Amino acid sequence: GAVVSQHPSRVICKSGTSVKIECRSLDFQATTMFWYRQFPKQSLMLMATSNEGSKATYEQGVEKDKFLINHASLTLSTLTVTSAHPEDSSFYICSARDILGIPSGDPPETQYFGPGTRLLVL
């Protein structure tokens, strides 16, 4: 239980194009999903928190018009990097949480992560 998938695993795109990354909870309902970014040699940094059916909450310094987040269902959230530029090249990873606590017995605060997406903008 508690599997989160993320697609694509890697993407290379030209500067100025938009890239969509999908995050899915496969066997539980994700009331909340989180998007993180990791630059080389740095820690995972929270970009935004999204609750199903409502607007995402962005961390300070993260442009909401640049990183569009949609959490339209309890199993799917998408992150769209709009008009990507080389400085957006990074590792993007999502996590999901079921605030009610999934049947595996883990504490409800547990976040379950996808495998991440490596984005390279040329």
- DSSP-derived secondary structure letter, 59: P
Looking at the Cβ atoms of 36 and 78, the one nearer to another protein is: 36
What is the sign of the dihedral through the CA atoms of 94, 71, 26 and 49? positive
Distance of CA 16 to the CA centre of its chain: 21
Cβ 87 to another protein shortest distance, Å:
21
Looking at the Cβ atoms of 19 and 35, the one nearer to another protein is: 35
The span from the CA of 13 to the CA of 21, in Å, is 13
84 Cβ partners below 8 Å, 6+ apart?
A: 13, 15, 16, 17, 18, 19, 119, 121
Cβ 27 to another protein shortest distance, Å:
13
Cβ 18 to another protein shortest distance, Å:
25
Looking at the Cβ atoms of 88 and 114, the one nearer to another protein is: 114
Cβ 113 to another protein shortest distance, Å:
4
Residues at the site binding another protein, with contacts judged by CB under 8 A = 2, 4, 34, 36, 41-46, 49, 93, 106-107, 109-116
